[in-house]
Structure 1
């Protein structure tokens, strides 16, 4: 009888222990658009690794690359996270801008000249306002990452002036601002997901595309006819490490701190990684026979002037307070 009671007690203790372990070990989904072959995907994986280490295995972030949690449609990622279908994400300001109009700030053509301008925005008052806009929509932003400045390529000719873009079909993401920018430059912007872009470039359904050097390099865009690349730095695409608001509220404060600090550290690591790789990427791209054009000041000014109308159209949609904060940060 005593043995039976003892075994029963042990079984109950084991069940309680198992329940506690199941409660202690938590797993969350993390969405990204690119895999860990790219700095973007590496940022998400670094976040997951740091959280795993610092939580001593009690928190697991399972990374789902290639926007697979939204069937490849990257512009739906923010909505899916807000609704709770996705717990967390390392997302792009471009892809989230349809739901958070303020994030179109970063897509304004030729607003930022270089990484110093970008840092001045993200690390200052403008960055805080951008994060507040995200949080207002049900997502908690934790840290910045970077997808890099976007350059333009095509299969037809070198692009040195706005006139060179006339009539070219350029693949763009699903953002009205991109449509306006390339229309202002005389091109024919064609919206499609990145999953559809390479086949379209292969068949010639579109003539060109715009992406950071990391995407051009790793995805071997030169293999689908993109033989002309122009370094015009027309916009940057910061990444945001973020968590669904309901998930965030359910977490103990200690877990929140682990997630936040790990995101900050992963973001800094990825930004440095991405920037340090630029020179080598460009060297490799040139070695594969791609003709690279670097704009001089006069050529750059012509693109700035041609897209000034886009700034005027989008200022109110982005918000004058945010836009003024960004311009003030750059001016400093």
Structure 2
């Protein structure tokens, strides 16, 4: 008979317990386009931190920033998640709109004047309809985040009216709706990656670009010749926390609850952080010598009128009823704000 020393038995038990815990724990991959230097990446990391704490390490997520799971091609993120290559993502409505046309709602020019307008849509019936559209594509949406309103900058002059954009070469993201918007304003929209855009902006081959203030600030876009920035809130880019439907189905009810609740908490936290930090970002950008222009109501309405045809062009692609529902929600929010 072989006698086992009590110390050895305890060591074996501890090892078996550790193995059992590691076998039961699960890690999901989460894709983001930006790192945690930006609010977008911070949203994903906040989700990871909250989930680890809530589940006591039984369900965790590993964040893969800079769209590295799709070799840097952010337009492939949604398809990769749907196919199961990516478990989950904190993704942009712009990047996902080719697969979910309804998400182009947020890119309609000058539809959303302010944060209250965005909240009235994302947090209401229209937001639920958009989540249903995402769900129909094999992705389970969990919560909203925010990349924010996209503003325009250039190296030539302040932009206060549509005619200021005539002939100006503007770098835009790879979406036909962006192309149509800047065509309507008389600009020369040029689709290119940011890697290509930086040298083009530096040399003056491209005059301007459009991005949220957070991106302009953190990426130091003023260092590539962008001296003039106009706050025009021409479109918004909400983020969506989501998970592959097959992955979702494989989770227990408790794990689903952890994942959804922490996504919602991370989304609310990130939205507030992004908005609270806007005044400081503007001050920092101004301190670096950038001239920031804010539009008057009349100036804003001139851009609304100039791009009205784009709404007509895209009504059938997005869904005319969805657009009308969004407009009604925005009008109601505006009326409540002026009471």
TM (norm. structure 1) is: 0.95
**More displaced, 167-176 or 251-260?**
167-176
Q: How far off is 1:12 after superposition?
A: 9.3
Summarize the alignment of residues 17-166 of structure 1 with structure 2, pairs less than 5 Å apart: 17=17, 20-166=20-166
Provide the C-alpha distance between the structure 2 equivalents of 1:25 and 1:194, rounded to a whole number of angstroms. Answer: 38
Q: Which of 251-260 and 280-289 deviates more?
A: 280-289
Contact 1:74/1:193 (<8 A) preserved? no
Quote the Cα distance in structure 1 between the aligned partners of 2:225 and 2:158.
13
How far residue 257 of structure 1 moved from its aligned partner, in angstroms, is 0.4
- Normalising by the residue count of structure 2, what TM-score does the alignment of the two structures yield? 0.93
**Paired residues of 1:151 and 1:230 also in contact (CA < 8 A):** yes
CA distance in 1, matches of 2:205, 2:74: 21
* Aligned-partner SS, 1:214: helix
Q: 2:323: which partner in 1?
A: 323
Measured in 2, the distance between the counterparts of 1:77 and 1:317 equals: 21
Q: Deviations over 1:48-90 (max 9, x none)?
A: 0000000101122111111111111111111111111111110
Structure 1 position 274, deviation (Å): 0.4
User: SS at the partner of 2:134?
Assistant: helix
Unaligned runs of 5+ in 2: 333-339
Report the number of matched residues.
331
CA distance in 2, matches of 1:86, 1:202: 35
Q: What are the Cα deviations for residues 232-257 of structure 1, in whole angstroms up to 9, with x where unaligned?
A: 01011100000011110000010010
Q: Bigger CA drift: 161-170 or 137-146?
A: 161-170
- Provide the alpha-carbon RMSD of the alignment: 2.0
Structure 1 residue ranges without an equivalent (≥5):
none
TM-superposition CA deviations, 1:298-327 (whole Å, max 9, x none): 211111111000000111111122112211
CA displacement at 1:198 relative to structure 2: 2.2
Pairwise CA distance, 1:197 = 2.7
Deviant stretches of 4+, over 3 Å? 1-4, 9-19
CA distance, structure 2, for counterparts of residue 324 and residue 183 of structure 1: 24
Which range moves more in the overlay, 248-257 or 24-33? Answer: 24-33
Farther off after superposition, 159-168 or 271-280: 159-168
Residues 148 and 236, structure 1, Cα contact 8 Å, conserved in 2: yes
Instruction: Work out the CA distance in 2 between the residues paired with 1:227 and 1:237.
Output: 24
Instruction: Output the CA distance in 2 between the equivalents of 1:41 and 1:195.
Output: 19
